[in-house]
Amino acid sequence: MTERSKSEQPKPLEYPLQSSGRTSGGIPEQAAAIEYRPRPTDEFLAENAALYRVAYDESVNALKTQSDELSGMRQRLVSFLAFVGSATAFLAGSALTATQSTTTQSGHRSDLFYGVAAVASLLMLAVITYTVNILRPKSAKIIRAASAYRIVEGHIETDIPTNEGHLLRNLALRNDEAVQANRSVLVKLRRDYVTAIALGSLELVALIGLVWFCT
């Protein structure tokens, strides 16, 4: 192959996944790890569209897995809160109706009773706070797969793809950046979830101890 034929070969292009001051397909700008990526030639993209579809499908599955994890976390936490609430009502009622070993000679309940009850109340309040924080869409927002409007407005009409492989590549990279951005959110939500479960369990232990103390 001559030097001239080598120089005439199409070179990979470079194009920005996102321009400064904008977001890429709804992804926060700081979430993109690489601002510029080398793009293969149009011929390569067209010939390997099926391979890019595999990458796109995997990126969609990764986003769906993260979304399912958040939904499952919310459902389990709501069920746990309902259980803790029911158990609290039963245990608190049992403690209040019992009078043995909880009243002083003057007829008032002891300071230990009020102390344990106050701790249990604070723990319950903390569980509710963590639960609300996880259930709030604003504080527990993760990026999902691009909607049809986002694909048309942000990837077809704005950055017109040359072929199907080009479009699938753009969407796969966009979804991968969304997966990376979601991980930091899910790490915090997992920590809050475990904390809520632990505090709820401690609250029940405190109330059980209070019932034993009362009886």
Q: For residue 112, what is the enclosing H or E element?
A: helix 111-135
Q: Is residue 41 part of a domain?
A: no
Q: Is residue 56 part of a domain?
A: yes
Q: Is residue 120 part of a domain?
A: yes
The tens-digit pLDDT sequence of the chain (215 residues) is: 444 444 444 444 343 343 333 444 455 544 444 444 677 888 888 888 899 999 999 999 999 999 999 999 999 999 999 999 999 888 888 877 765 555 555 556 777 778 888 999 999 999 999 999 999 988 778 877 766 667 776 667 677 778 888 888 888 888 888 899 899 999 999 999 999 999 999 999 998 888 887 76
Domain that holds residue 163: 46-214
Q: For residue 158, what is the enclosing H or E element?
A: none
Indicate the number of domains in the chain.
Answer: 1
Q: Is residue 159 part of a domain?
A: yes
Both tokens of 149, joined, read 């409007």
Q: Is residue 88 part of a domain?
A: yes
Q: Is residue 26 part of a domain?
A: no
Q: What are residue 14's DSSP bridge partners? A: 38
Q: Is residue 23 part of a domain?
A: no
Q: Is residue 158 part of a domain?
A: yes
